[in-house]
Amino acid sequence: MSLPSIAGILARREITDVSTVPMADHRAILLEAMNTDLPLAHEFLHARAHEADKAGGSVEWHESPRSELGKQLIRIHASDAMRTIAQEAWCHGKKLTFVNCCDGAVGKPPENVFLEQIRTQNGDKAKPDC
């Protein structure tokens, strides 16, 4: 489960049917759970967002998918909802890009994400079997 704290958050807010609460509350619930359950990714992506500002717009990263941080990054990038919230709340609106299982960027997306995916598979930037 990506966000095990959701059940506790809903119980604390006395929400029994999430479909009855406003969309803004959905985002707030997810953000609270992400902050609770994905602290390494939160800290990492927020720091990369500030590095992207200093670097002129974008910064790339590489992390083992087997590490605790890598597992959290995968969970965020695999979910459209969580990736959107992370971009807004943690990355100051900067875009998150994810290729292969271990490479990404914060900031301006690559001009050709397809080429980046190939480079992470052919050995130029990473190994095809992380």
pLDDT digits (tens, 9 = 90+) for 82-125: 999 999 999 999 999 999 888 999 999 989 999 988 888 887 77
Helix axis angle for 80-89 and 68-77, nearest 10°, is: 110
Structural domain boundaries, residue 20: 1-37
Q: Are residues 79 and 123 in the same domain?
A: yes
Q: Are residues 31 and 44 in the same domain?
A: no
Q: What six digits make up the tokens of 123?
A: 């050995």
Q: How far lies 111's CA from each of 10, 36, 105, 115, 118, in Å? A: 40, 34, 12, 9, 13
Which residues, listed in sequence order, are joined to residue 60 by a DSSP beta bridge? 105
Q: Are residues 89 and 30 in the same domain?
A: no
Main-chain phi, psi angles of 24, to 5 degrees: -60, -35
Q: Give the global pTM.
A: 0.91
CA angle 69, 70, 76 (to 5 degrees): 90
Q: Are residues 61 and 125 in the same domain?
A: yes
Q: Are residues 45 and 17 in the same domain?
A: no
Q: Is the pLDDT of residue 2 over 90?
A: no
Q: Is the pLDDT of residue 128 over 70?
A: no
**Which of these ranges, 1-5, 71-75, 76-80, has the smallest mean pLDDT?**
1-5
Q: Are residues 49 and 107 in the same domain?
A: yes
